């Protein structure tokens, strides 16, 4: 599942250049629905007493902050490999009042800087498709989670409905790059997004990859006509 076309350095640079408009772009390009997607994904995390969760590819920390809202007493470690995104995430956390419970640091999803069995659950939102080797990234997310914990993945998928599929494809290949360029001011920055979305495994294939890493009872939920899917796997 390694994609040699994904140059980590280029992806790091791209996200750093659009970081200042990332949140606005998410709201506009998803028509504001991205918040409900994150809420659903976070609701899939296992509950525990004084839990600690790992938010991989935390970006501007929307998922980490959603965890704070949903799970009282939780602590979160957020990692990302884009310094530009981390700077914004740290500032957002500082202003949120949760600075003592959210630890934001540099980290690569393919080589997480943590020991085995450290967290109650791990989650990644719209980041796994940017990892060169999906299976390795998912394996790492499972490695650092305690037995009985869960790995949660929120990611774009390809709509399979015959009626909506061509409309969706037109939106992500034509409309999305244009709006992204206008808002971010970065020419070509949003050409990568539709390409990565169309190349990403369909839900059944991602489910199989998760099972191959050793995760059990893997389920997925399609949201918004199948535009995104939330996969959940248990750590044995």
In a domain, 98, yes or no: yes
pLDDT per 10-residue tile (average), the chain, 236 residues: 56 62 64 90 96 96 96 96 89 94 96 98 94 96 98 88 79 78 67 78 96 98 92 98
Question: Does residue 191 form part of some domain?
Answer: no
Domain annotation covers residue 218: yes
Q: Which two tokens stand for residue 179?
A: 């709006």
Alpha helices in 58-133 (DSSP H): 62-70, 83-96
Q: Is residue 186, in this structure, part of any structural domain at all?
A: no
Expressed as residue numbers, the domain containing 68 is: 8-157+201-234
**Residue 184 domain-assigned (yes or no):** no
Tell me, yes or no, whether 185 lies in a domain. Answer: no
- How many residues comprise the chain? 236
The angle at the Cα of 197, spanning 102 to 138, to the nearest 5 degrees, equals 50
Q: What is the pLDDT of residue 153?
A: 98
Q: Can you give the pLDDT at residue 163? A: 75
Q: Look at residue 97 and tell me if it is in a domain.
A: yes
Query: Residue 94's closest CA among 108, 104, 82?
Result: 104
Tokens of 125: 């939102």
- What pLDDT score does 187 carry? 65
How many domains does the structure of the chain reveal?
Answer: 1
Hey, how many other C-beta atoms are within 10 angstroms of the C-beta on 86? 24
Q: What 8-state DSSP symbol labels residue 63?
A: H
In a domain, 86, yes or no: yes
φ, ψ (nearest 5 deg) of residue 70: -90, -30
């Amino acid at each position: 599942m390694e994609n040699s076309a994904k140059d980590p350095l280029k992806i790091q640079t791209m996200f750093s250049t659009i970081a200042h408009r990332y949140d606005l772009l998410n709201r506009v390009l998803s028509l504001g629905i991205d918040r409900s997607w994150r809420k659903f994904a976070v609701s899939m995390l296992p509950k525990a007493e004084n839990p600690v969760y790992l938010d991989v590819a935390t970006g501007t920390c929307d998922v980490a902050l959603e965890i704070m809202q949903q799970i009282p007493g939780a602590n979160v470690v957020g990692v990302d490999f884009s310094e530009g995104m981390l700077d914004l995430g740290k500032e957002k956390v500082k202003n949120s009042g949760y600075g003592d419970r959210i630890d934001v640091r540099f980290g690569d999803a393919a080589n997480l800087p943590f020991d085995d069995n450290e967290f109650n659950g791990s989650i990644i939102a719209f980041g796994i498709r940017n990892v060169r080797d999906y299976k390795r990234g998912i394996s790492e997310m499972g490695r650092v989670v305690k037995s009985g914990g869960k790995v949660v993945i929120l990611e774009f998928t390809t709509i399979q409905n015959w009626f909506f599929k061509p409309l969706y494809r037109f939106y992500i290949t034509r409309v999305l790059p244009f709006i992204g360029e206008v808002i971010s001011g970065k020419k070509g920055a949003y050409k990568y997004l539709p390409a990565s979305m169309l190349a990403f495994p369909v839900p059944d294939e991602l489910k199989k990859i998760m099972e191959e890493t050793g995760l059990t009872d893997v389920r997925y939920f399609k949201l918004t006509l199948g535009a995104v899917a939330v996969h959940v796997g248990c750590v044995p």
